[in-house]
Amino acid sequence: MNIEKFIKHLVEQFDEIDPADVSPTTKFKELDGWDSLVAISLIAMVDAEYGKKLTGDEIRKAQSVSDLFEIVKSKN
């Protein structure tokens, strides 16, 4: 897994966000358009792209993009 690709997938779940504005330290829940639908989009994206099950609680605990990346990466 590489974080650049993860960020690309993450950005796709938002309607209009410039990928250049998102880095590993970005607090993704503070991005424009963040809501519960984007949260379940992330779960569906992680399932579709990485074949892993992310939970709502894990999203809640993660603050930065790299937090979320590490959670997904650590999953089997």
Partner 1 sequence: MNPFSLEGKKILITGASSGIGRTVAIEASLAGANIVICGRNSERLNKTFDLLHRIYNQRHERIVFDLADELATSATIHQLSDFDGIVFAAGSDLIQPFSFTTSQQLKSIMDDNFTGQVLMLQKLIKTKKINQGASIVFFSSVNGTSIGSKGHSLYAAAKGAINGLVRVLANELSKKKIRVNAIAPGMVETGLMKMNEEIVSQELLEEHRKDYPLGFGRPEDVAYLCIYLLSTASVWMTGQSITIDGGLGINR
Binding site for partner 1 (CB under 8 A): 36-37, 39-41, 43-45, 48, 55-57, 59-60
| Closest separation in Å from C-beta 13 to partner 1 | 8
Which amino acid is residue 50, in one-letter code? Y
Question: Are the CB atoms for 21 and 65 separated by under 8 Å?
Answer: no
Give the residue with the Cβ less far from partner 1, 20 or 48.
48
| Closest separation in Å from C-beta 35 to partner 1 | 8
| Closest separation in Å from C-beta 58 to partner 1 | 9
Give the residue with the Cβ less far from partner 1, 3 or 39.
39
